[in-house]
Amino acid sequence: MALDKIEILLEKYFEATTTVAEEEQLRDYFSQDSVAPHLEQYTPMFTYFSKAKDERFTKQVPLKPRVSYHKWISIAAVAVMAFGIYFGNDYREQREAEFAYQETKKALSLLAQNLERGTEKVAYLNEFEQAKQKIYNNN
């Protein structure tokens, strides 16, 4: 085979534009003993491809299905999240209700204290009114 044709095929090969038949020509050329000295660097690559093409995997591949825990872990994670969200909301609402109860209790206690002070003042006014009535009635 002409050396210039091999060089052109090599160039096409490295640009990934060769056909299968052209690659076969390159493998045939590099499997010969008479390879041009400046192309000898490519000989191991093409001989490797020729040998690798004949290799076959002979081990038995087990087709037993694996137990996939990922599916069950995902389901468990979703269940835990749903449980947490449901009871977390209940707990938060309970805390908010307890806080509101305590605040209302404080407000009503303050109101009761002020109401007692107010009724004491009204009691003084009531005594004043009675004294005033006695003074006006005696006259």
Q: What is the count of structural domains for the chain? A: 2
In a domain, 29, yes or no: yes
Residues 33 and 89 in one domain: no
**8 Å CB contact between 9 and 25:** yes
Instruction: Answer yes or no: is 91 within a domain.
Output: yes
Packing angle, helices 20-31 and 43-54, rounded to 10:
110
Same domain, 82 and 117: yes
Q: What is the pTM of this model?
A: 0.39
Question: Terminal CA-to-CA distance of the chain, rounded, Å?
Answer: 152
85, 34: one domain: no
Domain extent at residue 109: 69-139
Largest CA distance in the chain: 153
Q: Tell me: the pLDDT tens digits for 79-127? A: 888 887 777 777 778 888 889 889 999 988 888 887 877 777 776 777 7
Count helices and strands in the chain by DSSP H and E runs: 4, 0
Q: Tell me: the pLDDT tens digits for 14-29? A: 888 888 888 888 888 8
Position 34 in a domain: yes
16 lies in some domain: yes
